[in-house]
């Protein structure tokens, strides 16, 4: 396989800042086709922002993002929408459309982008719902679903157009152990069975270690480390060790920047 | 002093920028409207139901009482000159030319406008609009334009119903309560009323429909995606719509006189 066909998404020298705050500076990252790539990092490092940059919901100030060799900054609105049809994205809270039933939520992309008959749409939607174990919930409304169920419905919706790339934004947050196990298995199964490329943003070290092929640890606007989850666990870098082993203090300080404790308690800081 | 001037300049620049963005947003809604009307008519009909049909009760109740109170005022003042027969005319002109469109627009902002703003704002806060973007569905076309059109279509219809029910209220007070002769009550209206009066009301309600709908949709789409942000946007919808309606009312009346 040549480099272009092996590397699906290539990010080079990315710079993005929000107001005066620099989120990324000189970020380089390559996502390989067919793999599950995990993006990890302490809270606030901009992992979700990176997903939004990859899908061009945000535009970087500098640097390039190419998908299949195409620089996404050059795409027109129409071409961008065509590209996005190759993506499926699972939002952290599911982002189901609250005025539509579970069935209609999953059917939504099909109704918007295809001319399929109602019978065929029903067939496809029920197949996808069956794959996530929620065929029986087809007539329920999003408000009636638990957090785990909502995320599984959102996963069914994300894959209903048979995407090439599935993006998961914090898929493991706030789930009970059973739902968590179900989602972890689904991520792996979707990737292998459908031959897609998955990008998972998470800071759940244990869960991500069981599914990811490659992991990028992002900190201070750059990739601080990359490799397989096992390689990262045995890495010598202080930051990687702190993150992978969940240590409270280290390069990522426990305390947010603050004036001297004693001075502040004694009220001298305002003098 | 320098700081005051600087703040004033920055606020002016910000206002002009926001106003420009608002106009572009309005043009985007208009540009998408014709195709949506033809291709997704059922989605628009659902929003006419949401914004229009669900506002019917409040519009009819308010219309009834506004008509009734107009007749009360008209009768009590006209009777001084023995001109009770003109009660209906006074109520008719006030309702059709002014109060029908204006009251309907303000009630619309309070009932449907706030619902639109908070619905769109919450959709934004819960990533539903971002999810649509990711599904390659333009949220402006799929979410905003149907709601905008729903308001634009509903407003003239609601204003007409407001005025009709208002006249019924005026009839109840004038004819049933104060025993104004029913023939005179309606005959005077027929003699005095001109189609231009009704046209004025129709023009106003159409303009108000565009104004109230675009403000509600704009505020929702640009709401800060937090509970507080959506609450502020909802409040702004009512305040800005009420001011815009009254300013437009003055301008249209001045232009048509």
Q: How many CB atoms lie within 10 A of CB A270?
A: 7
pLDDT of A3 reads 56
Pick the CATH number of A1-86+197-248 from 3.40.50.300, 3.40.1350.10, 3.30.1130.10, 2.40.110.10: 3.40.50.300
pLDDT band at A260 (very low <50, low <70, confident <90, very high): confident
- Cβ contact (<8 Å) for B136 and A92? no
**Whole-complex ipTM:** 0.80
- Counting Cβ atoms within 10 Å, is residue B217 exposed (0-12), middle (13-18) or buried (19+)? buried
- Cβ contact (<8 Å) for A98 and B126? yes
pLDDT band at A203 (very low <50, low <70, confident <90, very high): confident
Domain ranges of chain B: 41-256
pLDDT of B71 reads 95
pLDDT band at B2 (very low <50, low <70, confident <90, very high): confident
Cα nearest neighbour of A160 on chain B:
B135
* Residue B155 token pair: 């407003």
pLDDT at position A254 over 70: no
Which residues 134-163 on chain B approach chain A with CB closer than 8 angstroms? Answer: 134-138, 142
- Decide if B130 touches A, using CB distance below 8 A: yes
Cα nearest neighbour of A97 on chain B:
B128
Residue A98 near residue A142 (C-beta atoms within 8 A): yes
pLDDT of A252 reads 67
Cα gap B233→A22, rounded to integer Å: 29
Contact residues on chain B for A96, CB-CB shorter than 8 A: 128, 131
Average pLDDT (B70-93) is 91
- Cβ contact (<8 Å) for B128 and A85? no
Q: What mean pLDDT, rounded, does chain A reach?
A: 85
Closest CA of chain A from B49, distance in Å = 15
First to last CA, chain B: 45
Residues 6+ apart with CB under 8 A from A193: none
- Counting Cβ atoms within 10 Å, is residue B163 exposed (0-12), middle (13-18) or buried (19+)? buried
If one compares A203 and A27, the residue with the highest pLDDT of the two is A27
- pLDDT tens for residues B93-126? 999 999 999 999 999 999 999 999 999 999 999 9
- pLDDT tens for residues A56-112? 988 899 999 999 888 998 888 889 988 888 888 888 888 999 989 999 999 999 998
Residue B100 near residue B201 (C-beta atoms within 8 A): yes
* pTM of the model as a whole: 0.84
pLDDT at position A117 over 60: yes
Residue A179 near residue A155 (C-beta atoms within 8 A): no
pLDDT band at A26 (very low <50, low <70, confident <90, very high): confident
Nearest to A57 among B123, B126, B133 (CB): B133
pLDDT band at B145 (very low <50, low <70, confident <90, very high): very high
Q: Would you say the C-alpha torsion B171, B174, B180, B184 has a positive or negative sign?
A: negative
Q: What are phi and psi of B254, to 5 degrees?
A: -60, -40
- Decide if B226 touches A, using CB distance below 8 A: no
Cα gap A232→A210, rounded to integer Å: 13
Rg (chain A; Cα; Å): 21
Cα gap A186→A102, rounded to integer Å: 18
Rg (chain B; Cα; Å): 21
- Cβ contact (<8 Å) for B135 and A84? yes
- pLDDT tens for residues A211-236? 888 888 888 888 878 888 777 777 76
Q: What mean pLDDT, rounded, does chain B reach?
A: 93
Cα nearest neighbour of B125 on chain A:
A95
pLDDT of A42 reads 77
pLDDT at position A4 over 60: no
pLDDT at position A271 over 60: no
Contact residues on chain A for B134, CB-CB shorter than 8 A: 55, 57, 84, 87, 89
pLDDT of B105 reads 96
Average pLDDT (A42-58) is 86
Which DSSP string corresponds to A136-170?
A: GGTT--GGGS-HHHHHHHHHHHHTTT--SEEEEES
Q: How many CB atoms lie within 10 A of CB B255?
A: 9
- pLDDT tens for residues A118-160? 999 999 999 999 988 889 999 999 999 988 889 889 989 998 9
């Amino acid at each position: 396989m040549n480099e272009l066909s092996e590397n699906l998404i290539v990010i080079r020298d990315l710079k993005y800042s929000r107001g005066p705050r620099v989120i990324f500076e000189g970020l380089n990252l390559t996502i390989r086709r067919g793999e599950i790539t995990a993006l990890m990092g302490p809270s606030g490092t901009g992992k979700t922002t990176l997903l939004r940059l990859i899908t061009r919901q945000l535009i970087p100030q500098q640097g390039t993002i190419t998908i299949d060799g195409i620089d996404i900054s050059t795409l027109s609105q129409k071409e961008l929408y065509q590209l996005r049809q190759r993506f499926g994205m699972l939002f952290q809270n599911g982002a189901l459309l609250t005025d539509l039933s579970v069935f209609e939520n999953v059917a939504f992309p099909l109704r918007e982008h295809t001319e399929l008959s109602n019978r065929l749409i029903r067939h496809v939607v029920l197949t996808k719902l069956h794959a996530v174990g929620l065929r029986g919930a087809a007539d329920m409304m999003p408000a009636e679903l638990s957090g785990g169920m909502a995320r599984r419905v959102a996963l069914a919706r994300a894959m209903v157009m048979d995407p090439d790339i599935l993006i998961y934004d914090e898929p493991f947050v706030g789930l009970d152990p059973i739902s968590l196990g179900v989602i972890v298995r689904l991520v792996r199964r979707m990737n292998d069975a459908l031959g897609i490329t998955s990008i998972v943003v998470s800071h759940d070290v244990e869960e991500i270690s069981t599914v990811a092929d490659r992991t990028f640890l992002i900190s201070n606007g750059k990739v601080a480390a990359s490799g397989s989850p096992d390689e990262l666990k045995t890495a010598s870098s202080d930051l990687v060790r702190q993150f992978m082993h969940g240590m409270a203090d280290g390069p990522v300080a426990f305390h947010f920047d603050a004036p001297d404790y004693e001075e502040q308690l004694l009220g001298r800081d305002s003098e | 002093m320098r700081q005051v001037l600087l703040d004033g300049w920055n606020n002016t620049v910000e206002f002009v920028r926001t106003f420009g963005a608002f106009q572009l947003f309005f043009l985007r809604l208009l540009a998408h409207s014709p195709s949506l009307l033809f291709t997704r008519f059922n989605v628009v009909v659902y929003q006419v139901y949401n914004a229009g049909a669900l506002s019917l009760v409040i519009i009819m109740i308010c219309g009834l009482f506004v008509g009734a109170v107009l007749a009360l005022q008209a009768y009590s003042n006209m009777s001084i000159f023995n001109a009770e027969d003109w009660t209906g005319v006074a109520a008719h002109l006030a309702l059709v030319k002014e109060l029908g469109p204006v009251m309907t627009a303000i009630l619309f902002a309070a009932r449907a406008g706030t619902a639109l703003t908070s619905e769109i704002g919450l959709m934004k806060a819960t990533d539903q609009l971002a999810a649509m973007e990711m599904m390659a569905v333009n949220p402006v076309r799929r979410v905003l334009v149907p709601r905008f059109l729903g308001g634009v279509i509903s407003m003239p219809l609601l204003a007409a119903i407001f005025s009709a029910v208002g006249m019924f209220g005026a009839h109840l007070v004038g004819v049933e309560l104060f025993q104004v002769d029913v023939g005179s009550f309606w005959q005077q209206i027929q003699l005095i009323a001109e189609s231009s009066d009704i046209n004025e009301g129709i023009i106003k309600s159409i303009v108000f429909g565009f104004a109230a709908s675009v403000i509600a949709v704009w505020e929702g789409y640009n709401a800060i995606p937090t509970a507080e942000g959506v609450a502020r946007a909802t409040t702004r919808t009512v305040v800005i719509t009420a001011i815009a309606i009254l300013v437009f009312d003055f301008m249209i009346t001045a232009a048509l006189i």
